[in-house]
């Protein structure tokens, strides 16, 4: 499961001379940690402090001078290189997490709670066990916490996640054939509405516009601003133009090919935007940002 880094800005980077990228079990994305030791190698196991506690990770990006760190996110430290005991403990924790998940599922069923458990993970020192779950509504799990604390003898954390978070944790391939953006580099999920698809003049086919999570694909936002800007060059759909004293109505535009479809009483024409500008004038398009709201 991805480890969210603290979003507060580093008060100082003087405490570290280098930073490294670390990956965790079942997460393709690397997270950065600070260190004063430049003798780390890619593939080496390390113990790090995350917002969740002590965890075992693997170096995926070698030591880089701290001067090159520019994200502004707070760097937590690498505690030390992992020992054989740390590695054995992590494997044991993974097996215990499977048992803990079975216990939790049984208790959820007993208490008739409407929640779908997704993952279970122990921190390296077993100070905490973290369960993530999906639920349509808020779940009152106070009784579940009491039961789990009594049976697992550690601190319990239950975290409700959304469909996008589930896809981020599990991973997969997008319609483009590449690894899901959410499991590789996206930190936050901005509001993605169907208006973005309309702004890009895509066919409103919800199944084709949905990702592995069942929600609208995140990449709808990548080119949205570019479409908004480029559309300002085109006439409004439905606007009336006069070419050689003949009235035409704009019935379609293609941003990529820069073509405009115009119709008169007698004919339908496809004309390039550059040619259209030479033959007639049309009012500047309204601010597309207002159209998207």
At 293 the pLDDT is 41
Q: Rounded mean pLDDT of 44-70?
A: 90
Per domain, the residue ranges of the chain are 18-82, 88-161, 168-225, 233-282
Please indicate whether the domains covering 88-161 and 233-282 agree at the CATH topology level. no
pLDDT band at residue 30 under the 50/70/90 scheme: confident
**Model pTM score:** 0.63
Question: CA 5, CA 22: separation in Å to the nearest integer?
Answer: 12
Look up the CATH architecture of domain 88-161.
2-Layer Sandwich (3.30)
Is residue 16 helix, strand or coil?
coil
Tell me if the domain spanning 233-282 has CATH number 2.30.30.
yes
251, 254, 258, 260: CA torsion to nearest 10: -10
Q: Rounded mean pLDDT of 169-180?
A: 82
Question: CA 221, CA 199: separation in Å to the nearest integer?
Answer: 10
Q: What DSSP element (H or E) covers 170? A: helix 163-170
Question: CA 229, CA 231: separation in Å to the nearest integer?
Answer: 6
Q: How far is CA 16 from CA 65, 146, 293, in A?
A: 9, 41, 45
Q: What share of the chain is helix, strand, coil (3-state, %, to 5)?
A: 30, 30, 40
pLDDT band at residue 277 under the 50/70/90 scheme: confident
The one-character DSSP state at 66 is G
pLDDT digits (tens, 9 = 90+) for 227-240: 888 888 888 888 88
pLDDT digits (tens, 9 = 90+) for 86-138: 999 999 999 999 999 999 999 999 999 998 898 899 999 999 999 989 887 88
Complete edge-to-edge strand list for the sheet that includes strand 155-161:
116-122, 128-134, 155-161
The one-character DSSP state at 284 is P
Highest mean pLDDT among 51-60, 65-74, 172-181: 51-60
Q: How many angstroms from the chain centroid is the CA of residue 175?
A: 15
Beta pairing, strands 128-134 & 155-161: parallel
* 8 Å CB contact between 117 and 133: yes
């Amino acid at each position: 499961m991805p480890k969210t880094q603290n979003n507060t800005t580093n008060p100082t980077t003087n405490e570290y001379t280098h930073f490294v990228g670390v990956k965790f079990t079942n997460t393709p994305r690397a997270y950065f940690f600070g260190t004063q030791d430049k003798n780390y190698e890619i593939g080496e196991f390390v113990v790090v402090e995350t917002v969740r506690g002590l965890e075992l990770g693997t170096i995926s990006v070698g030591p880089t001078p701290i001067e090159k760190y520019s994200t502004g996110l707070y760097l937590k430290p690498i505690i030390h290189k992992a020992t054989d005991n740390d590695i054995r403990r992590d494997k044991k924790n993974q097996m215990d997490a499977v048992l803990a998940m079975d216990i939790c599922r049984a208790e959820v069923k007993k208490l008739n709670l409407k929640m779908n458990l997704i993952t279970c993970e122990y921190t390296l020192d077993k100070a905490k066990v973290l369960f993530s779950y999906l639920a349509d509504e808020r779940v009152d799990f106070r009784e579940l916490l009491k039961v789990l604390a009594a049976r697992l003898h550690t601190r319990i954390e239950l975290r409700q996640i959304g469909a996008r978070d589930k896809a981020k944790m599990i991973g997969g391939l997008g319609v483009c054939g590449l690894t899901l953006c959410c499991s590789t580099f996206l930190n936050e999920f901005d509001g993605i509405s169907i208006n973005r698809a309309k702004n890009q003049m895509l066919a409103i086919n919800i199944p084709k516009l949905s990702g592995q999570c069942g929600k609208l694909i995140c990449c709808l936002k990548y080119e949205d601003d570019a479409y908004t800007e480029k559309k300002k060059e085109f006439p409004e759909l439905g606007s009336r133009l006069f070419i050689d004293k003949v009235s035409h109505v704009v019935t379609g535009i293609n941003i990529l090919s820069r073509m405009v479809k115009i119709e008169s009483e007698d004919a339908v024409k496809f004309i390039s935007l550059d040619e259209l500008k030479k033959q007639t004038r049309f009012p500047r398009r309204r601010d597309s940002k207002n159209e998207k709201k």
